Structure 1
Amino acid sequence: MKVGLIGLGIMGYRIGANLAKAGKLHIVYNRSADKAESFAKEYKVSKASSINELVEKSDVIITMLSNDDAVKNVVEPIIPIMKGKILIDMSTISPTLSVSLAKKIESVNGTMFDAPVIGTSTFVEQKKLVVLVGGPKEKFDIVYDILKETASSIVYMGSNGMGLYAKLVNNLLLGSYVAAIAEAYNFGLKAGLDPQQIANLLSSLSSARSPTTELKMPKLVKGDYSTQFATKHMRKDLEIIMRESQNLKVITPISSLALQLYKMAEALGYSEFDFVSVLEVFKKLSPKS
């Protein structure tokens, strides 16, 4: 079974590397051809000159793309040639869009799974990703066999769209939680506490400590906003949650507020930086003493 990968961004590149090292990846495509070229040379896989070429030469197609428009623009044109093929979309996009695309692929006798991930680029490198899968259960074993090379947990969540809804549950909490961590950290700084004391409190002593505080507190203390998960992507995910909450008729006031904070961080120039840069909203907008 030949596997192709479309999308060699921060996450896709590392996922592809893990699959290639395990002998599970055969061909790649990226909008920036030079990145695909360098990846193909480094990991001894083929480089497709077009998306259609990759699909035609693959039995399973994995996509790791940035947003709804990117996935729609890649997937819709290839639907006519998806007969007998499997698409595993690892992007975090609107469940509504994903279900719609899955139905179209099913209509030509193809199969689509949504398989968004929990974890940063560091987690990919350590093969500690959590993959949340939605799609037909009878073919889940194929997805599992491929993605086990880049993840520690691969969980079947239900029918198409359920993987994405599960991912949004996680990111609703994560986005709100990191904004709260940044607010608490800034409050402590303004009160005169030592930054390391605050970090130790939140990451080791607090009843609210978590793997997220362990990962993000050192970055906050150092002012290290190097990207593990970009602010623009968290803002995008919270926007999806806002739209889906309207469809589901459920209130999401806390994540709606977090969304505005990440928009402010982007307005301050931190769109491409790690989403812990939301700290700068609190630092720069708090009155000067």
Structure 2
Amino acid sequence: MKVGIIGLGIMGYRIAKNLAKDDILNYVYDRTPAKSMEFKKEFENVEYFNDPTELAKSSDVVITILSDDNAVTSIIKPLIPIASNKIIIDMSTISPITSYELAKEINSKGYFYDAPIIGTSIAVENKSIVILVGGPYEKFETVKEILTHTSNNIVYMGGNGFGLKGKLVNNLLIGVYMAALSEAFNFGLDLGLTKEQIGDILSKLSSARSPTSEIKIPKIINGDYSTQFSVKNIRKDLDIIINISQHYNSLVPLASLTENLYKITESLGYSSLDFSSIFEMYRKLTLK
């Protein structure tokens, strides 16, 4: 079985590395050729393509991990005519509606799965990410067997789109939670507490502590906003959540408010940095 990956961004590159280390990855493609060439230097047995459709023609299983709805649609649509008996696993976070529409076309010939990720780039390296899978159960075990090389927790959520629905539930929470952590941290500083005192409360002592606070509070303390999950991506996901909420008549006022806070953070120049940099928005806009 030949496996190819399309998309060598922060998450895609690390997932590709996990598969290549286990000798199950055959091909890669990225719209930035230098990334593909860099990967080829690291893993000589993996070939790279300059055309994603050509990669798909040579692959039995195609994994995509891309930035947004437009990127996924532009890659998947040309694959429809050649999708016969192929398994396509999209690990991007996009609208479940977009994904479902693509799935209807692919599933008439092959098998399409949404398989978004819960976890950071560090979790990918540790193979501790959670992958939520939506799609035909018929080939789920094959999908799971492949994804086991990059995750120890793969959950079947139901039909097409249900993996993404689960992911959006998670990202609504972490988007709001990160903003709340930053607001609480900023509030503590304004009250005269030290960074270390606030850090201990939020990441060690609080009843609301979590894996997210344990990872992100040290980044705030150290001013280290190297990207694990970017501001522009959480803002994009919150935008999807708000649009989907209208489709399902669901009330999401905190998501709407928090999306605007991330938009302000982007306007201050933090778009590509880790979403914990929303803390800097609070510091810059705090009235003194």
Same fold (TM over 0.5): yes
1:260 aligns with 2:263: no
Distance 1:15 1:70 in 2: 18
Counterpart residue number, 2:152: 152
Q: Secondary structure at the match of 1:166?
A: helix
Moved over 2 A (4+): none
**RMSD (CA atoms):** 0.7
Q: Secondary structure at the match of 1:151?
A: coil
Report the Cα offset of residue 274 of structure 1.
0.2
Aligned residues: 287
Distance 1:152 1:268 in 2: 38
AA of the residue aligned to 1:90: M
Counterpart residue number, 1:275: 275
Distance 2:145 2:157 in 1: 17
Q: What is the correspondence of 1:49-60 to structure 2 with a 5 Å cutoff?
A: 49-60=50-61
Report the Cα offset of residue 213 of structure 1.
0.6
Counterpart residue number, 1:33: 33
Report the Cα offset of residue 141 of structure 1.
0.5
Distance 2:50 2:222 in 1: 42
1:179 aligns with 2:176: no
Deviates more, 1:79-88 or 1:34-43: 34-43
Distance 2:281 2:252 in 1: 21
Q: What is the correspondence of 1:1-289 to structure 2 with a 5 Å cutoff?
A: 1-44=1-44, 45-107=46-108, 109-288=109-288
Identity among equivalent pairs (%): 56
AA of the residue aligned to 2:52: I
Distance 2:50 2:236 in 1: 29
Report the Cα offset of residue 49 of structure 1.
2.2
Q: Secondary structure at the match of 2:270?
A: coil
Report the TM-score, using the length of structure 1 for normalisation: 0.98
Distance 2:145 2:218 in 1: 35
Once the two structures are superposed, what CA deviation does each residue of 1:204-242 show, in whole Å capped at 9, x if it has no partner?
A: 100101011100000011111110000000000000000
Deviates more, 1:38-47 or 1:22-31: 38-47
AA of the residue aligned to 1:187: F
Distance 2:280 2:264 in 1: 9
Q: Secondary structure at the match of 1:84?
A: coil
Q: Secondary structure at the match of 1:269?
A: helix
Q: Secondary structure at the match of 1:132?
A: strand
Task: Identify unmatched segments of 5+ residues in structure 2.
Answer: none
Once the two structures are superposed, what CA deviation does each residue of 1:38-79 show, in whole Å capped at 9, x if it has no partner?
A: 202211201112111101110000000000010011111111
Report the Cα offset of residue 278 of structure 1.
0.6
Deviates more, 1:39-48 or 1:94-103: 39-48
Distance 1:127 1:168 in 2: 21
Q: Secondary structure at the match of 2:152?
A: strand
Distance 1:33 1:283 in 2: 39
Report the Cα offset of residue 261 of structure 1.
0.5
Once the two structures are superposed, what CA deviation does each residue of 1:64-100 show, in whole Å capped at 9, x if it has no partner?
A: 0000010011111111111110100000000000000
Once the two structures are superposed, what CA deviation does each residue of 1:94-144 show, in whole Å capped at 9, x if it has no partner?
A: 00000000001112x111000000011101111111000000112110111
AA of the residue aligned to 2:174: L
Report the Cα offset of residue 260 of structure 1.
0.5
Task: Identify unmatched segments of 5+ residues in structure 1.
Answer: none
Distance 2:136 2:105 in 1: 14
Report the TM-score, using the length of structure 2 for normalisation: 0.99
